[in-house]
Amino acid sequence: MIIDQLFNAHSYYNLHKGIAAALHYLQNINLPKIAPGKYAIDGEKLFAIVQEYDTLDMANEKMESHKKYIDVQYMIAGEELVGHALLINQIPVQAYDEAADYMLFGEAPAFFSKLQAGMFMIFFPTDLHMPCIKNEIALPVKKIVIKVAVE
């Protein structure tokens, strides 16, 4: 997993061509004006999902991971906590859903990070993550998640 600010995006261009394309997309669109919804960037290889929601209580959430996509999550407005753990030998409590590309895990996160406006996080298939968590009180956020095909 990677946590950084968008002005440092150039440091990650060489990781994967899809990650580079996702970061370029974030740097070149009008993020405050983008409306919620799904946006095709390169078909099913690279697409963005813009979300607006109120942060959630951790007690009702589970960690997730993906197999087909890397997540690039960028906070446009607001802030949330994101739980993290490495996927080592945990058994999913909800089996992998191939169509939705996720599985859920019952373990508690090993640690939390705060995702604030201007920051992004990159989650690879070996990174368990629990996004959308409230810090102290539920707050509205606007976030864009770019799905990058692992290939």
**Residue that is written with structure tokens 């102290």 in the block:** 136
pTM for this predicted structure: 0.95
- What is the C-alpha end-to-end distance of the chain, expressed in Å? 18
Q: Of 2, 5, 27, 31, which Cα lies nearest the Cα of 16?
A: 2
Domains in the chain (CATH in brackets) are 2-149 (2.60.120.370)
Cα 81-72-35 angle, rounded to 5 deg: 85
Tell me the β-bridge partners of 3: 121
Per-residue confidence in pLDDT tens, the chain, 151 aa: 999 999 999 999 999 999 999 999 999 999 999 999 999 999 999 999 999 999 999 999 999 999 999 999 999 999 999 999 999 999 999 999 999 999 999 999 999 999 999 999 999 999 999 999 999 999 999 999 999 999 8
What is d(CA 85, CA 106) in angstroms, rounded to the nearest whole number?
Answer: 11
